[in-house]
Amino acid sequence: MTDLAALELDLINAIGAATTVAEVEAVRVAALGKTGAISGLLKGMGAMSPDERREQGPVINGLRDRVTSAIAEKKAGLEAAELDARLQAERIDLSLPARPRRKGGVHPTMQVMDEMIALFAEMGFAVAEGPDIEDDFHNFTALNFPPKHPARETHDTFFLRPDPETGERKVLRTHTSPVQVRTMMSQEPPIRIVAPGRTFRKDSDATHTPMFHQIEGLVIGRDIHMGHLKTTLETFVARFFELDGVDARFRPHHFPFTEPSAEMDIRCDRSGGKLVLNEGTDWLEILGCGMVHPNVLKSCGIDPDQWQGFAFGMGVDRMAMLKYGVPDLRPMFEADVRWLAHYGFSAFAAPNPSSGLS
């Protein structure tokens, strides 16, 4: 027969010595679990004679009740202590200073790209895209750059390693004009698109970075002429700079993919160290443009006797610098949060033509 007093003492000591809820639980299983010591005693009562049971029953039940309540009491105490320790450890010091406001913002290039897209969208232009890595056909050949023509060199092209099988050298696109080609080859005219995106040239100084952004425009329709080009671009430039109109001139130029070609300048005054548009005797170059060359239309499977169009391209970063007074192009891509905090825009002020652009 088990010495009940010794068993009780052992259990009460074990409960007293437990320092965690898990240790108390281990004692409970050893005493009152399926194969526990007290459970064994309770089961043994079934085999007792009625007299024995009458005598032993209250003793064993009393032992069970005392051990059960000792366990419950110890557990409650330990749980309270554990909660206290946790509250202490996870205490929030409300006197600590708050975190500084995040300095993120919308980059001026992206802001200006959104402004341009909003203005052209209102004039019925869709947005088209093309890959940053281009092939010679889309970047040069289809745009009427003759093979070995010096114009190819003027683009300071980044070439990729030649393909081991074909020897073909892909390029980082030097302008967004290849998107014209991709659009004309995949869509039926009439076409009215703008193609904003990254462009790349081996060039670096205060006004050039190896990666920069351009936006390309293309309109193809029947009987499209220079008048459409002029009105579209003058309307765009006036609205972009938030002016009632612009004093513009279209200066003859050369691009292989347009004929005639022009550069659009806006009258300006730089005499006060500040740029003022529509005044003075200087001219500010804004963009390149022209009527799409018949060879380009033919390369893209469009009949130049049926369809004509105009195209234009401009530097987005440069337009951002002009509009928002950014003096140097290089820091635009150095990812310095102080620069962004100064020149950036709120992400909540997305430009749209009805509520204002900037």
| Binding site residues, ligand DAH, CB under 6 A | 175, 177, 216, 255, 258, 288-290, 311-313
Looking at residue 331, what DSSP letter applies?
Answer: G
Nearest distance in Å: CB 210, ligand DAH = 14
Report how far residue 291's alpha carbon sits from residue 218's, in angstroms, rounded to the nearest whole number: 10
Nearest distance in Å: CB 181, ligand DAH = 11
Judged by beta carbon, residue 105 or residue 134, the one nearer ligand DAH is: 134
DSSP 265-327: EEEEE-TTSS-EET-SSEEEEEEEEEEEPHHHHHHTT--TTT-EEEEEEEEHHHHHHHHHT--
Judged by beta carbon, residue 60 or residue 218, the one nearer ligand DAH is: 218
For residue 130, give every residue at least 6 positions away whose Cβ sits within 8 Å of its Cβ, in sequence order, or none: 138, 173, 176, 178, 179, 182, 195, 197
Helix, strand or coil, per DSSP, at residue 193: strand
Report how far residue 15's alpha carbon sits from residue 2's, in angstroms, rounded to the nearest whole number: 20
CB neighbour burial string for 39-58, b if at least 16 within 10 angstroms, e if fewer: bebeeeeeeeeeeeeeebee
C-beta nearest to ligand DAH: residue: 313
Judged by beta carbon, residue 11 or residue 219, the one nearer ligand DAH is: 219
DSSP 57-97: HHHHHHHHHHHHHHHHHHHHHHHHHHHHHHHHHT---TTSP
Nearest distance in Å: CB 128, ligand DAH = 13
Selection from 231, 200, 196, 197 nearest residue 217 by Cα: 196
Judged by beta carbon, residue 14 or residue 316, the one nearer ligand DAH is: 316
Judged by beta carbon, residue 71 or residue 112, the one nearer ligand DAH is: 112
Nearest distance in Å: CB 311, ligand DAH = 3
Residue 325: how many other CB atoms lie within 10 Å: 11
Q: Residues in the chain, how many?
A: 358
Nearest distance in Å: CB 226, ligand DAH = 12
Judged by beta carbon, residue 138 or residue 175, the one nearer ligand DAH is: 175
Report how far residue 201's alpha carbon sits from residue 315's, in angstroms, rounded to the nearest whole number: 13
Judged by beta carbon, residue 105 or residue 197, the one nearer ligand DAH is: 197
Nearest distance in Å: CB 351, ligand DAH = 23
Nearest distance in Å: CB 319, ligand DAH = 13
Helix, strand or coil, per DSSP, at residue 192: strand
Tell me whether residue 55 is annotated as binding: no
**Binding site feature residues for Mg(2+):** 259
**Binding site feature residues:** 259
